């Protein structure tokens, strides 16, 4: 019957939707160091950072420079972002797209997947342990990967009791917006103390401006870095990325 044939085809299509085609986990595992390059127009701490960039042109620059993934701020009120940026870039991107926003409801996970995101950010500071695990389970079911972000040891302990695979360490203090790369070191030392370090992929976020910063972080054994403001403010972002990677 034609209805049975149509139904079988729909099941195949659904399974394809659930399949992770652009995998950040694979990128972090296979690369010596993965740069996640960010698109961020503004922030509460810095105001307008770069109001004139074109997302598609910026994606092209990032991909040409050899980054492993792109992060897109989609919060509208505080970061002047929009989910439509991901929708517009989905078919153009050869690398994983991270939706960076403040995820507090399951609806946002489905919204992210439908928009074309491959990865979401979950912030441990604003989510309890049960909600983190719920969101991780939903993400896996619909073909999303997740970075679970921590700022301190207390938040780390919360995440260690979930099924997270990627831990993001945000070097920015969200209370006063100060940045200290020592935060990454502190979290990694705690992971090693608990004999948990090798169980996770680690991404250091915020405050990464130079090749020296990269060297400092890679000596700790991180797998990736998320770079935002220094790229958005760079006159030549492609050259900036190559400098961070030590290619020039």
Band (pLDDT 50/70/90 cuts) for residue 1 is confident
Band (pLDDT 50/70/90 cuts) for residue 4 is confident
C-alpha 248/C-alpha 229 separation (Å) is 21
Please report the pLDDT score of residue 174 as a whole number.
76
Whole-model pTM: value is 0.94
Band (pLDDT 50/70/90 cuts) for residue 48 is confident
Query: Given phi > 0 = left and psi -120 to 50 = alpha, else beta, which region is 232?
Result: alpha
Cβ 204 vs Cβ 172: under 8 Å? no
**pLDDT at residue 54 greater than cutoff 80:** yes
DSSP notation for 14-39: HHHHHS-SS-HHHHHHHSSSEEEEEE
Torsion of CA 215, 218, 223, 229, to 10 degrees: -40
C-alpha 212/C-alpha 230 separation (Å) is 14
Which tens digit of pLDDT belongs to each residue from 70-121? 999 999 999 999 999 999 999 999 999 999 999 999 999 999 999 999 999 9
Which tens digit of pLDDT belongs to each residue from 153-212? 999 999 999 999 999 999 998 777 789 999 999 999 999 999 999 999 999 999 999 999
C-alpha 189/C-alpha 234 separation (Å) is 32
Cβ 165 vs Cβ 179: under 8 Å? no
Instruction: Could you please state the CATH topology (level 3) that the domain comprising 27-244 is classified under.
Output: TIM Barrel (3.20.20)
Which tens digit of pLDDT belongs to each residue from 25-47? 999 999 999 999 999 988 887 77
The fraction of the chain above a pLDDT of 90, given in percent, is 82
C-alpha 227/C-alpha 24 separation (Å) is 15
For residue 169, what are the β-bridge partners? 150, 204
Q: Tokens 């207390």 — which residue?
A: 154
Cβ 101 vs Cβ 108: under 8 Å? yes
Residues in the chain: 248
Cβ 68 vs Cβ 105: under 8 Å? no
Q: Give Dmax (Cα) for the chain.
A: 65
For the chain, the domains span 27-244
Q: Determine the angle formed by the axes of helices 55-65 and 237-244, rounding to 10 degrees.
A: 30
Band (pLDDT 50/70/90 cuts) for residue 228 is confident
Please report the pLDDT score of residue 69 as a whole number.
98
Please report the pLDDT score of residue 16 as a whole number.
82
């Amino acid at each position: 019957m034609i209805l049975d044939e149509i139904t079988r085809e729909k099941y195949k299509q659904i399974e394809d939707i659930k399949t992770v085609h652009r995998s950040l986990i694979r990128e972090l595992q296979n690369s010596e160091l993965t740069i996640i390059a960010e698109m961020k127009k503004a922030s509460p701490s810095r105001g307008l950072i770069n109001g004139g960039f074109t997302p598609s042109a910026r994606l092209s620059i990032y991909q040409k420079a050899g980054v492993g993934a792109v992060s897109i701020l989609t919060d509208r009120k505080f970061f002047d972002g929009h989910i439509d940026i991901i929708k517009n870039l989905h078919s153009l991107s050869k690398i994983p797209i991270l939706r960076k926003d403040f995820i507090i409801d399951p609806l946002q996970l489905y919204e992210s997947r439908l928009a074309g995101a491959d990865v979401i950010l979950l912030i441990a500071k604003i989510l309890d342990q049960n909600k983190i695990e719920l969101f991780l389970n939903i993400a896996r079911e619909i073909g999303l990967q997740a970075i679970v972000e921590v700022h301190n040891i207390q938040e780390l302990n919360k995440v260690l009791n979930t099924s997270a695979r990627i831990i993001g360490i945000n070097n920015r203090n969200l209370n006063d917006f100060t940045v200290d790369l020592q935060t990454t070191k502190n979290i990694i030392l705690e992971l090693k103390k608990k004999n948990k370090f090798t169980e996770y992929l680690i991404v250091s976020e915020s405050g990464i401006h130079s090749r020296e910063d990269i060297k400092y972080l890679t000596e700790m054994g991180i797998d990736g870095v998320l770079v935002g403001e220094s790229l958005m403010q760079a006159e030549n972002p492609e050259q900036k990325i190559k400098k961070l990677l030590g290619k020039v």
